[in-house]
């Protein structure tokens, strides 16, 4: 179930990025946080924010694993590059 959702999200992301041109990346979007703060970002900035947020949360998960003396999985790109996995 989780992998199915992951594959669906990745598929949508790949399809979007394949057709997103400069105009689409510069298109402005507004969104509100639960705090009520409203932000106005370009799609390009939103993608960067999403990437940054994911890295932040992965770091949190790794810290939790370390606190339990659990070695986290290999997260480096060279271990997880889908082009080189057999």
Domain map (residue ranges) of the chain: 2-80
* Chain centre distance of CA 58: 10
pLDDT given at position 80: 77
Give the rounded distance of the alpha carbon of 6 from its chain centre. 11
Determine contact, residues 62/72, Cβ cutoff 8 Å.
yes
Q: What is the DSSP letter of 76?
A: S
Q: Is the pTM of this model over 0.85?
A: no
- Sign of torsion over alpha carbons 45, 51, 55, 60: positive
- Is the sign of the CA dihedral 82, 22, 13, 60 positive or negative? positive
Q: Does the pLDDT at position 66 exceed 80?
A: yes
Residue 82's pLDDT band, with cuts at 50, 70 and 90, is confident
């Amino acid at each position: 179930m989780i992998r199915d959702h992951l594959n669906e999200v990745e598929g949508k992301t790949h399809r979007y990025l394949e057709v997103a041109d400069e105009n689409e990346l510069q298109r402005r979007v507004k969104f509100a946080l639960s705090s009520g703060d409203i932000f106005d970002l370009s799609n390009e900035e939103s993608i960067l924010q999403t990437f940054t947020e994911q890295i932040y949360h992965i770091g949190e998960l790794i810290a939790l694993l370390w606190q339990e003396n659990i070695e986290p999985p290999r997260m480096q790109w060279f271990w997880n590059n889908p082009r080189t996995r057999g």
